[in-house]
Structures are given as C-alpha cells and as structure tokens.
Amino acid sequence: MNAAMPAPVAVVTGGASGLGREIVRRLHAGGHRVAVADVAAEAATALADELSVRGPDARAYTVDVSERAAVERLLADVLADLGSVEVLVNNAARTQARPLLEITPDELDEVMRVNLNGTFFACQVFGTRMAEAGYGRIVNIASLAGQNGGTATGGHYASSKGAVLSATKVFARELAARGVTVNAISPGPQDSPMVRDLLGDGLDALVAGVPVGRLGSMRFIADMVALLASPDAASVTGACWDANGGLYLR
C-alpha cells in the first residue's frame, strides 16, 4: 500500500471477545484501522483503547446486529470517524446449547436474528457501500455445525450457520462484478472459553473424536480472515474455507 494512503478500515462484529477479539488483533497488527463492534460496550472500548496506543486507530462501537437500523448507524459512524471501510468481518453470533426438540420459538428467533439476520443485514448495508466504492472484502464466520448438522452448540445455531453459508454465496454472486468479494470460514471446535464452557466434562471425548487429535486455534482462524481480507484475495469469492481438524471432509 502507498505510504501516503490511509490504512484500510476493517469492521469486526462481535469483536470484543473470543474469536472476534483474535480477528481484531490480527487485522490491527497487519496495519488495519479497526472498528470493534459489539453489544458489550465496555469490553469493546477496552480493546480499542489498548490497541490504539500501539498502532493504527482502533475504535469501539456498540451495536446489536439483529437490528438493521443499528447496522446502518454502525456504517454511518465508521465512515464519519474513519472515512472508509474496506473490510467487514461478520463474526457476531448467539450460541445456545439446547436439546433440539426442546428449542422454543423465541429461542429459535433470537439465535436466527443475530446469526443470520445480522450477517445478512451487514452484507446488504456494507456491501452496498463497498460496491459503490468499487472495492471490498467481506468475511462471514460460519461453522462446522452448519455443514454437518452438529447440535452440540444448538440445532438453531447449526441451522443459522448453514444459512450463513448460503447467504455468502448469493452476496458473492451479486457483488463480484463490483470489486467486492464475499467468503466464509467454517471453524470446527476451537480452543476457546466458549467451547470449553459449552462442552464441560464432554471436552475430552470431543477432542478424542477429532482426527488430528486437537482443538483448533483461534489465531489461525484470524490468519485465515486476514488472508481473505487482503487485496491479493481478489480471485476468491463465494468460497468456504474449512478448519475442522478432519471432522468434515469434502
């Protein structure tokens, strides 16, 4: 990138903790100005403040992605503060371990509104802006559960992530001719607090069933995001990159 040009801007939803935090750190370390977007305002602010003292600008934004108006405000605020947006990472997600046949209508709606609707709205809102600018990189965080029907993280979660994979394809097809790529990453079980909390005593049994014999690395997933978010990734769109330890082969 030309030294005279401002650093590119990356927006990461659900960026204040877990995998989102790793993605924020990776993109920031790679030279992006980063918008940490999350419902957890204090955590987002703490992360943004930490990063800003040792690199490009990082700012926190409070947003509930399940509301399209909130996503529109997020875009407007990022443009007002940072001037552009080149990268969007749709990472915000709601997970709820619940027996499949006991999921209530309200629980289904809550998970779908965040995981599917939030991703769809952001692809619409930010994708429109990127298409107008003639350039953009969108990376959607899907899941192994959306590919193999796993219910350990909730059947409604798995269903929502399967829908994210379909949304990735339709937005990729729509935006390809205007310089915007849209891709997905489907992680398997990661070495994360969320996975450990969800599985509890069942963690050892899960690891034993993973062909490579270990949980995935959130830092590696963040590296995958950075690669798909780079200008050099122009020929990759509508793809899903798997990182599941051999649990799902295709």
Cα torsion 53, 57, 62, 66: sign = negative
Determine the Cα–Cα distance for residues 101 and 97; give it in Å rounded to an integer. Answer: 12
| Ordered per-residue pLDDT tens for the chain, 250 residues | 455 678 999 999 999 999 999 999 999 999 999 999 999 999 999 999 999 998 889 999 999 999 999 999 999 999 999 999 999 999 999 988 899 999 999 999 999 999 999 999 999 999 999 999 999 999 999 999 999 998 878 999 999 999 999 999 999 999 999 999 999 999 999 998 777 877 788 888 889 999 999 999 999 999 999 999 999 999 999 999 999 999 999 9
pTM: 0.95
Q: Which of 61, 135, 157, 248 is catalytic?
A: 157
Residues 6+ apart with CB under 8 A from 139: 87, 88, 89, 90, 183, 184, 185, 225, 228, 229
CA–CA separation, 63 and 68 (whole Å): 10
Residue 157 annotated as catalytic: yes
Backbone angles phi, psi at 7, to 5 degrees: -65, 145
Output the six-digit token pair for 162. 């399967």
* 3-class DSSP state of 242: strand
* 3 state SS of 116: helix
By three-state DSSP, how is residue 86 classified? coil
What is the distance between the alpha carbons of residues 204 and 231, in angstroms, rounded to a whole number?
A: 40
Q: Residue 192 region, left (φ>0) first, then alpha (ψ -120 to 50), else beta?
A: beta
Strand 33-38 to 58-62 pairing: parallel
- Going from the N-terminus, what domains does the chain have, and what CATH number goes with each? 9-242 (3.40.50.720)
